[in-house]
Amino acid sequence: MRSKYLILLVVAILACTLVALPVTAYSGDAVNWYTKGNALTASKNYTEAITAFDNAISLEPAYVEAWNGKADALNRAHRYSDALNASDQVIALNPDYLKGWINRGYILYNLGRYNDELAAYEQAIKIDPTNAEAWFNKGYSLGGMGRWQDALTAFDRVQTLDPAYPNLGANQQIAQQNLNASTPFYVKQAPIIGIVALFVIGAGIWLWMVKKKN
């Protein structure tokens, strides 16, 4: 009797576990096409990569990663409008897909939509505030807008998250140099100017007092 209850308990636990697991698996054929698409993108064979991702999507229309791979391949092939359309599908299927937002930022940059590009990276950061790639791209985007202080702040965040992030040091240096170049002379020399001004004012008061005594 005890064994019977034990078996029923195990079955119940397994049933609950299976119900709780999300259905995220795609068909094997779709995954194979997706994997092939990634390999073709890596080898810069973008036309065939797009076809491979399309094959994966035809088998699994909600294959978010395949849509994102297609958007990336289209972007690399300089088909920016088509890439953005594919990116729209990514975001519609999963608004919290981090890689989708970062990839969208790259596409928007190529379309010259810099404010939207920045917004895409900021959305990625909202999803995962510890993602160094999102912060780095935000810094790069801000630098392109001439917002060098904000860019440095973003790069400093990358430094905290991943000190070995590729090209971080070079971009920090460029941002600092441009910030220095864009800062007005009177702001840079504000301490010295302040001291000189105090000296001149003090000298003027002293002369006025001397004349008053005479």
pLDDT in tens, 78-93: 999 999 999 999 999 9
DSSP 82-114: HHHHHHHHHHHH-TT-HHHHHHHHHHHHHTT-H
Assessment of whether the complete model's pTM goes beyond 0.85: no
Q: Coil, strand, or helix at residue 129?
A: coil
Does pLDDT of 71 surpass 80? Answer: yes
**Residue partners of 88: CB distance under 8 A and separation at least 6:** none
User: In the CATH scheme, what is the homologous superfamily, with its name and number, of domain 27-188?
Assistant: Tetratricopeptide repeat domain (1.25.40.10)
Q: What are phi and psi of 129, to 5 degrees?
A: -65, -10
Give residue 182's pLDDT: 80
Give residue 7's pLDDT: 45
Domain coordinates of the chain in residue numbers?
27-188, 189-214
Q: Is 146 left (phi over 0), alpha (psi -120 to 50) or beta?
A: left
**Rounded percentage of the chain residues whose pLDDT exceeds 70:** 74
Give residue 138's pLDDT: 98
pLDDT in tens, 167-192: 999 999 999 999 999 855 444 454 65
